[in-house]
Structure 1
Amino acid sequence: MKLDLLAALNAARAARRPAVVVTALDSGEQRLVLEPAQDPLAAEIGRALASGRSGVVEDAAGRSVFLNVHVPPPRLVLTGAVHIAQTLGPLATALGYQVAVVDPRTAFATPERFPDVELRPEWPDVALPELALDPFTAFAALSHDPKIDDPALARALESGCFYVGALGSRRTHAARLDRLKAQGVPDAALQRIRAPIGLPIGASSPAEIAVSIMAEITAVLRRAELAS
């Protein structure tokens, strides 16, 4: 790999920006793709990025090319150091996510309850800018406290998180949407919030709800078809 291409790739990785190195197997010629929609292999690169897997494809001329996929490790940010988060955090960690829990309520946000995740006992307006949410971040609002969840949801939507979910009934969510709309969050962004959160698997316990949330996050990340 040429030094200028390697430098550009390292810069993209440092910025948590997805990148694909395309290598022609017959000639060894390489190019770095940062904007897949503008590349002749846009469809193939899009599928590779969605799966996170490298592999060989054919270009329009029938030549074999290798797509070397570089995607940032996914992150999961949770507001609310609640029972669901206690199961969801380790579950996400086991699936390769970097997990952070944000909750200013220090009685809940303790290292004893969350020993293996990044714990931020702060308000979202302090913690989230430092966490730098991005399109490879999933966000879930679990606190049931509008003072904590609402500003965090607004920032997650603004940051383009690939998944944004919120705990609560349909009635609770309707009131939440009214509050966020009054704060100036666009309707199109509000429609991205998945609520009630998680896949409809009949979950009842906090642990089962955590499983349903993680399953929904995985489906969205991998662009699986979800029933409406």
Structure 2
Amino acid sequence: MRLDLLSRLMAERAARRPAILVTQLATGAQRLVTPETLAADPLSADLRKALRTGKSGAVGEDADRAFLTVEVPPPRLAVIGAVHISQALAPLARVAGYDMVIIDPRTAFATAERFPDVRVIAEWPDQALPEVGLDPFTALIALTHDPKIDEPALEAGLNAGCFYVGALGSRRTHAKRLERLSARGLGSAALDRIHAPIGLDIGAVSPGEIAVAILAEVIGALRKDGPAMVRPEAAA
């Protein structure tokens, strides 16, 4: 690999931005594709699929055959609320390969004893989230049922382009939430991105079942749709 391409690839990785090294198998020519150059690339459809799956591999036929070396940031879950659902979600997220951080200013709940092997930040979301650093490969999950805690976090997740933003609560609760978020200046296009009631509709009742439904919906958002930066409409 050319040194300049390697340097650029390492810089993208350090900044948690996706990139693909394209190697033409017939000639050995290489180029680095980022979300900014994705739309104009002749392999854009294959590149988008590779960024959604995170898998490297060969694409194309004959002289156009190329190998895609895919570098995508590991997906993360930023969970607002140190609640029972969060306790059930933590081991599931670990098995699925997601890094997870829990944010909750209520120090009685946000403890290492309740969440072993999970990063717990006992601060308000507006204080903690800048340190966490939301990005398009992060899912923002709000579970406290407290507007003072959940809604600033939801706003931050939408503004950061998180690939998934979801909130616990009934349709009636969510309708009132949307009114408050709209009053904060969020437009309808952003508000429509919130998954609520959160999780796939599988009839989940217990915290464990709700956690399964949430994680399944998160995985679907990442693998079927992908972060907004790699969707076709992002280039429009």
Global fold match (TM > 0.5): yes
Distance 1:145 1:90 in 2: 24
Query: Which residue does the alignment assign to 2:181?
Result: 180
> 1:120-178 CA distances to partner (integer Å, 9 max, x unpaired)?
00000100011110000001100011010000000000000000000000000001000
3-state SS of the aligned residue for 1:222? Answer: helix
* Secondary structure, counterpart of 2:224 in structure 1: coil
How far is 1:62 from its partner?
4.3
The whole-number CA distance in structure 1 between the counterparts of 2:6 and 2:40 is 20
Letter matched to residue 55 of structure 1: G
Whole-angstrom CA distance in 2 between matches of 1:37 and 1:49: 13
- 1:38 pairs with 2:40: yes
In structure 1, the partner of 2:56 is 54
Identical aligned pairs, as a percentage? 62
Runs of 4+ aligned residues of structure 1 deviating over 4 Å after TM superposition are: none
Pick the structure with more helix per residue: 2
The question of 1:201 aligning with 2:178 is answered: no
Higher relative CO (CA 8 A, sep ≥ 6), structure 1 or 2?
Answer: 2
Matches within 5 A, 1:132-171: 132-171=133-172
Letter in 2 for 1:171: R
Structure 2 counterpart SS, 1:119: strand
Supply the distance in 1 between the matched residues of 2:60 and 2:224 (Cα, whole angstroms): 23
RMSD: 1.0
Tell me the CA shift for residue 37 of structure 1: 1.1
Q: Does the CA contact (< 8 Å) of 2:26 and 2:63 recur in 1?
A: no
Task: Report the 3-state secondary structure (helix = DSSP H, G, I; strand = E; otherwise coil) of the residue aligned with 2:39.
Answer: helix
User: How many pairs align?
Assistant: 223
Could you tell me which runs of 5 or more consecutive residues in structure 2 were left unpaired when the two chains were aligned: 226-236
Checking the alignment, whether the CA contact within 8 Å between 1:133 and 1:159 is kept in structure 2 is: yes
Q: Do 1:56 and 1:65's aligned partners in 2 also have CA atoms closer than 8 Å?
A: yes
**Counterpart amino acid of 2:26?**
D
Alignment of 1:105-116 (within 5 A): 105-116=106-117
Q: Which residue of 2 aligns with 1:86?
A: 87
Task: Show the counterpart of 1:18.
Answer: 18
- Post-superposition shift, 1:63? 2.2
Worse-superposed segment, 212-221 or 50-59 = 50-59
Q: Deviations over 1:34-79 (max 9, x none)?
A: 13112111011001111111111116x7421001110000000000
SS of alignment partner, residue 195 of structure 2: coil
Output the amino acid matched with 2:93: A
C-alpha distance in 2, partners of 1:30/1:93? 35
Mapped to 2, the partners of 1:145 and 1:38 lie a distance apart of 44
3-state DSSP of counterpart to 2:161:
coil
Structure-2 separation of matches of 1:4 and 1:73: 24
Instruction: Report what 2:224 is aligned to.
Output: 223
Q: Secondary structure at the match of 1:168?
A: coil
Deviation at residue 186 of structure 1 after TM alignment = 1.2
Q: What is the CA distance between 1:90 and its match in structure 2? A: 1.7
TM-score (norm 2): 0.92
Q: CA deviation at 1:204?
A: 0.2
| Structure 1 runs not aligned, ≥5 long | none
Contact 1:90–1:116, Cα closer than 8 Å, also in 2: no
Determine whether 1:76 maps to 2:51.
Answer: no
**Counterpart Cα distance in 2 of 1:5 and 1:78:** 35
